[in-house]
Structure 1
Amino acid sequence: MRISKYISCTLLTSILLISCGGGSDSEPPIDPVVPVVLDPSAATLIFPDDNTECNEGIINANDESKSTVNFQWSTSENTDSYEIKIKNLDTGSVTTAISSTNQTDVLINRGTPYEWYVISLANGASSTATSDTWTFYNQGPGIENYAPFPAVAINPQRGATISNTNTTVTLEWSTSDVDDDIVSYEVLFDNIDAPTTSLGTTIEPNIEATIMTGNTYYWKVITTDSFGNTSSSELFEFRVE
């Protein structure tokens, strides 16, 4: 009887071991948890303020034609770092700065118009978010009156294709001036990429131009203030189909 009990216990133990271990190969693998990366939101610009003169820069001791300006913006959601783009509107050159906070110091030219914006970045996210674009003048030595900011195309938008439903198009633009003393605009317009034909001058931010189907047109705006200071816009273009 003792032998039988021993055999029975041994068989039972073996069956239990086989039952417990036999199902491991058939269980599906557990997928790793992949963290969700949220897209960043756009920052709101704070300083330098839009369409103003920036007079808070620290003049460079080695070169008084430059000053260090502290650019500031709001902290945006789901953002790990910021890319700041600062464009010299006189030369078209762009300075890029990277910051992990909502401000950064950048050395720029004095007496010069700039535009700037901020791109929000998130680690692991393919999408970015871009703030509005602001313009400002960095204060210069002895300047009593600033030239207007270069005009920006409103209609047709830069690179647009429009339908030729009429023989004319209304060119529209926007601009601003720290001193608020703009007196006139001259528009150069042609189907060559270096327009020299003047459509005349106007006190309004729009003017009519004659167009034809199948052509690409180029135009720019020269803005003048009451002191005779001028600014020339970038070259705008659109196609008529």
Structure 2
Amino acid sequence: MKNYLYLLVLIVLTLACGGSDSDTPPPVTPPENEAPSTPVLSYPSDELLCTENPLEFIWNASTDPNGDVISYELQTATNDSFSENVQNATTSSIKHSLSLLKGKAYYWRVRAKDSKNAYSSYATTRKYFTEGEGVSNHVPYAPTLISPELNASINSSTVDLSWSASDVDNDPLTFDVYFGTSNNPSKVLENSDQTTYTASITAGNTYYWKIVVKDDKGGETIGQLWNFKAE
């Protein structure tokens, strides 16, 4: 009997000294990393004719919710999809200089990146023009898509194609419209001064279209290839 009592006391003491799992503090969860705020572009302003080259790009600083170190990625190119004559630069500063081709329409944008590789959205794209040598006329800017949206689905027998365009010289502009089911569409309208075109479409087809912008001095710019699907 004594041996039994001794064993029981020993078990109780062991359990008392061992503590419980509830005494263990829960693991600390680090705060979720958040992306920096989107920078705001400052210079060059939209549609500015830039006479300096190299050109200094300037934007407003971003902030980071977690206090992380921020750097910036600058892109400029001669088309608004940033695939032609692209220049990229990464910097911790809010300004950076680049040498550019002369007499070209350019587009630029910036995004912020923190030290944990979280990216902000790109700032709203701006366009500008570099002055050429002895150039009396500048080609128009590439047209901008208004409607229908890229890759949209259209449930109708007709569609209104709509775009906008501008010219640094403020020359009058005309437009050639290319449209069809091939990704090399045919010209369906020439030298129009309108920025809309109504086309007939058939359900089940994917349609492609583009605009060529021309000024009255012989300058022209070929727009991007856009597309939509007829449902």
* TM class by smaller structure: 0.7 to 0.9
The aligned counterpart of 2:38 is 42
> Larger deviation: 123-132 or 168-177?
123-132
C-alpha distance in 1 between matches for 2:56 and 2:154: 42
Counterpart position of 1:129 = 121
Partner of 2:220: 230
The one-letter amino acid of 1:103's match is K
Equivalent position amino acid for 2:219 in 1: N
- Look up the match of 2:51: 55
TM-score (ref. length: structure 2): 0.82
Question: AA paired with 2:206?
Answer: T
Gaps of 5+ in 2: 1-13
Q: Say what the alpha-carbon RMSD is for the aligned residues.
A: 2.4
Partner-residue secondary structure (3-state), 2:111: strand
Q: Kindly state the Cα deviation for residue 189 of structure 1 after the two structures are TM-superposed.
A: 0.8
Q: Tell me the secondary structure at the aligned position of residue 34 of structure 1.
A: coil
Matched, 1:139 2:131: yes
Larger radius of gyration: 1
Superposed CA deviations along residues 191-239 of structure 1, whole A, max 9, x for unmatched, are 1001123223321211111211111111111111121211110111111
Per the normalisation by structure 1, the TM-score is 0.79
Does the residue aligned with 2:100 lie in a helix, a strand or coil?
strand
- Give the match for residue 55 of structure 2: 69
Give the drift of 1:107: 2.0
Instruction: Give, in angstroms, the shift of residue 92 of structure 1.
Output: 2.1
In 2 relative to 1, CA 32–186 (structure 1 residues): closer, same or farther, beyond 3 Å? same
User: What is the CA-CA distance between 1:138 and the residue it aligns to?
Assistant: 1.3
Amino acid in the other structure paired with 1:52: L
Q: Name stretches of at least 5 consecutive residues in structure 1 with no aligned partner.
A: 1-17, 58-67
Inter-partner Cα distance in structure 2 for 1:125 and 1:87? 24
Alpha carbons of 1:107 and 1:21: their partners in 2 closer, same or farther (altered >3 Å)?
A: farther
Deviations 1:127-154 (A, max 9, x none): 5221001111111111121110010111
**Could you say which residue in structure 2 is the equivalent of 1:14?**
none
Tell me if the contact between 2:159 and 2:199 (Cα under 8 Å) persists in the aligned partners. Answer: yes
TM-superposed deviation, 1:55: 1.0
Q: Distance in 2 between matches of 1:120 and 1:146?
A: 32
Alpha-carbon separation, structure 1, partners of 2:123 and 2:19: 56
Match runs of 1:166-205 below 5 Å:
167-205=157-195
> CA 1:25/1:192 → structure 2, altered by over 3 Å: closer, same or farther?
closer
Whether the 8 Å CA contact 1:84–1:116 is kept in 2: the answer is yes
Aligned-pair identity (%)? 31
